[in-house]
Amino acid sequence: MYCGCGAHTVALGRSGLISQILAIELDPRLVRSCEKNISLNGLQNLIQVYRGDAGRWSKEESRRRRRNQQRSRAFVETAHSDSRMRNTNNDDDNGSCNYDILLVDPPRQGLDEEVCRMAMMTMSDGDENNDDDSKVHGTSSGQNNNNNSSHGSGGCFQNILYVSCGHQALLRDLERLSPVYEVVNCAQMDLFPRTDSIETLVHLRKRTTTFT
């Protein structure tokens, strides 16, 4: 997300390590530059570019996954109650995520809240209209423990790579994601010599145990 002109996108595409990439960018000028860079590197079959707001896309993606989860649960319940359905294949994706890695390079204000919500979705997040901020931020300490237990087995991605130029926003977003994702590694890069700008790269991985 926030792919810009495709610097990270093209590098990942050329690495040979990724089988499919969806690049999301709002600025139409950057979208055109990204598409041109993809074409120049012959990666059109590997990378799809989506022009739009990352927060809005995340909200729509969350709704799509909830619908798939609900259809999957309805199918399982029907299959258990009717033996004639037990050998029927389900064509839906069972609410599973289409992508294993989320790479974000947001502006200084950090991630849209809907991006965090989407990344932290669990199979129990079935209410499409539930906008309870406790799913991202938590509320009282007692409620935090309950939410963390719920999120401990959730999460849409196995790994998140966060490229940050806004340190306060990065700290805020890491706290938001911490019930589901843990920091594996962190590096700082001086991409703009003789300035006070430092880029921070953080690797987060989905937790394997419940976080309390």
Q: Is 162 known to sit in a ligand binding site?
A: no
What residue type is 50 in one-letter code?
Y
Task: Give the other-Cβ count within 10 Å of 78's Cβ.
Answer: 13
Q: Is 175 known to sit in a ligand binding site?
A: no
Element (H, E) at 22: strand 21-25
Question: Quick check: 127 and 26 in contact, CB under 8 A?
Answer: no
Question: Quick check: 34 and 22 in contact, CB under 8 A?
Answer: no
Question: What count of Cα atoms within 13 Å lies in the side-chain half-sphere of residue 77?
Answer: 6
165 is catalytic: yes
Q: Is 128 known to sit in a ligand binding site?
A: no
Q: Per the residue annotation, which of 34, 156, 165, 186 is the catalytic one?
A: 165
Question: What count of Cα atoms within 13 Å lies in the side-chain half-sphere of residue 156?
Answer: 22
Annotated binding-site ranges for S-adenosyl-L-methionine: 2, 25, 105
Q: Which residues are annotated as catalytic? A: 165
